Amino acid sequence: MASEATQLSGGKDLVEAVASFVFDPLGYVCAMFPWEEPGTRLVAEIGPDVWQAEILMDLGVGVERGEGPVQIAVKSGHGVGKTALIAWIIHWFISTRPHPQIVCTANTKTQLETKTWRELAKWNDLAFNGDWFNWSATTFRCLAAPGTWFAAAIPWNKDKSEAFAGTHEEHVLVVFDESSLIDDTIWEVAEGAFTTPGSVWLAMGNPTRNIGRFIECFRRYRHRWRTFTVDSRTAKKADRTKINQWEEDYGEDSDFFRVRVRGLPPRVSSMQFIGQDIVEAAKGRVIHPSSIQKSPIIIGVDVARYGDDKSVIYVRQGLATMEIRKYMATGSQWLMDFAGIVSEAINVWEPDGVFIDEVGLGAGVVDRLRQLGYNDAVGVNGAREPQDKDLYLNKRVECWGRMRDWLKSGGAIPNDQEIIDDLTAIEYGFAGRNQFQLEKKEDMKARGFASPDIADALALTFAYPVQKKSEIQKILPHTRGEQVVRDWDFLEWGIGEAR
């Protein structure tokens, strides 16, 4: 490092001061940032939080001993300051070790770019040796030797995992942010980097899954990892008002509160969005006709995207399932044929709301229905913004969340294994701002499950609030069939069983 030292600003004193912290990351953080200094954003900050200081001290002890790789796993609640800790450790490591190999990744490319890596830029702007480095969207380079002395932000890709393979560098740091959702393949490849004493692997995140390599750091592999759990209620940066709201809304022992606040994994084995117990209670549940007479009738339509998927029409009134129609797509005219089938269901049921998945082929069904005069048909794009942006990532998971609430509140479904499997198969995780997000249908199929077409159609009936129309409002500019099917006709055969 001596040959490059003359190229670094701040003079010999600063270079020697930084070098003195090679085994002291806590001392580095306390010394190299302007804590309590007027005119900076740290004017009201006295230094790292207690939990951050504990981890920094433990890291220093580990690297000083030099007995082998130092592997630190931290599971935490939301908003505790973990990205700041990541930025500090990267800054300390690159400042005190020449020509290191530093790789940083996160659960998603967006999280990596807008949260984790951006945080490093913010702290470098504050650091007393900040002008030693040049930050870009993908690298953080030491100006003394930019070709070999840098950290890299690399989105993970299980098909291109070689970026996380080991090298023969003397100083190696690998950082995983929001580690629960980083594929196990990347973990396995990264292990090859840790053959040199003094190398460091930092894995942090909300424990959104209770399976996978991240949570196994605290279980099967705990003898290899220095493990920490951070409850948001003990962190000085956490939003106490929001935490109190979550506790009131979900309860301290709920999976939501466990993950977001307590830093504990969910109880369900695979982040099952709707538990088996909820669905078992709902199947075959009896709903008395009088209890739903004033409830709106709503139709949800899921349109098949692939050859092995089904197109489904789901009719719901209040807590009752009224009818489920399932169709396999056949022939080039299928889209227009299916639009005609949906129009027939509208004629029969005279619904107060019709919601159709408009992603892909569904948009054509919506357009065709409007051409036929069914102007009340509403297209729903599951990728769009939800009404509750704090809780849900997009409209699709919001619909599923409301469907789950409906099931818990007494909603009835048929005693049919296909819909039971649909409802219980899908898994969830958390997005960058800790909103619920559902796994993709493609990922479900990769796990061996079919597309949850029936459940998606039911979920669409919760897309937007619907009020029961008056009879005058129900008159539409098209000819209706003469037969009027009463919703309670189906109750005689059991909830949700169509003729």
Domain count, the chain: 2
Residues of the domain holding 285: 276-493
Written as six digits, the tokens of 33 are: 């940032």
| β strands within 58-191, DSSP E | 70-76, 101-106, 133-135, 139-142, 150-153, 172-177
Shared domain check, 220 and 314? no
Side by side, which strands form the sheet with 139-142? Answer: 133-135, 139-142, 150-153, 101-106, 172-177, 200-205, 70-76, 226-230
Strand partners for 313 = 301, 325
Whole-angstrom distance, CA of residue 35 vs CA of residue 88:
14
Contact 161, 189 (CB under 8 A): yes
Contact 206, 196 (CB under 8 A): no
Note the helical H segments in 263-394.
Answer: 276-282, 334-349, 362-371
Shared domain check, 302 and 231? no
Burial of 196 (0-12, 13-18, 19+ CB in 10 A): middle
Q: Write down the pLDDT at residue 269.
A: 53
Shared domain check, 399 and 295? yes
Shared domain check, 360 and 215? no
The answer to whether position 270 is within a domain reads: no
Q: Write down the pLDDT at residue 498.
A: 31
The answer to whether position 28 is within a domain reads: yes
Q: How many CB atoms lie within 10 A of CB 208?
A: 27
> Residues near 160 by Cβ (< 8 Å), separated by ≥ 6?
none
The answer to whether position 235 is within a domain reads: yes
The answer to whether position 263 is within a domain reads: no
Shared domain check, 419 and 468? yes
Q: How far is CA 14 from the centre of its chain?
A: 42
Shared domain check, 111 and 20? yes
Q: Write down the pLDDT at residue 475.
A: 46
The single-letter code of the amino acid at 478 is H
The answer to whether position 247 is within a domain reads: no
Burial of 479 (0-12, 13-18, 19+ CB in 10 A): exposed
Shared domain check, 290 and 173? no
Written as six digits, the tokens of 391 are: 């809780």
Shared domain check, 167 and 299? no
Helix 25-32 / helix 11-19 crossing angle, nearest 10 deg = 150
- Which CATH number is 350's domain given? 3.30.420.240
Shared domain check, 235 and 280? no
Shared domain check, 127 and 43? yes
| Residues of the chain scoring pLDDT < 70 | 1-11, 166-168, 193, 268-271, 306-307, 330-332, 432, 446-448, 471-499
The answer to whether position 499 is within a domain reads: no
Of 215, 239, 263, which one is at a domain's C-terminal end?
239
Q: Write down the pLDDT at residue 432.
A: 61
The answer to whether position 255 is within a domain reads: no
Contact 101, 172 (CB under 8 A): yes
Burial of 386 (0-12, 13-18, 19+ CB in 10 A): buried
Q: Write down the pLDDT at residue 348.
A: 96
pLDDT digits (tens, 9 = 90+) for 225-234: 999 999 999 9
Q: Write down the pLDDT at residue 493.
A: 25
Burial of 96 (0-12, 13-18, 19+ CB in 10 A): buried
pTM exceeds cut of 0.85: no
Shared domain check, 298 and 192? no
Whole-angstrom distance, CA of residue 103 vs CA of residue 93:
12
The answer to whether position 260 is within a domain reads: no
Of 239, 261, 284, which one is at a domain's C-terminal end?
239
Written as six digits, the tokens of 257 are: 């509160």
Long-range contacts of 158-164 (CB under 8 A, 24+ apart): 158/183, 158/185, 158/186, 161/185, 161/186, 161/189, 162/189, 163/103, 164/103, 164/105, 164/189, 164/190, 164/193
- Which CATH number is 151's domain given? 3.40.50.300
Q: Write down the pLDDT at residue 321.
A: 96
Shared domain check, 158 and 19? yes
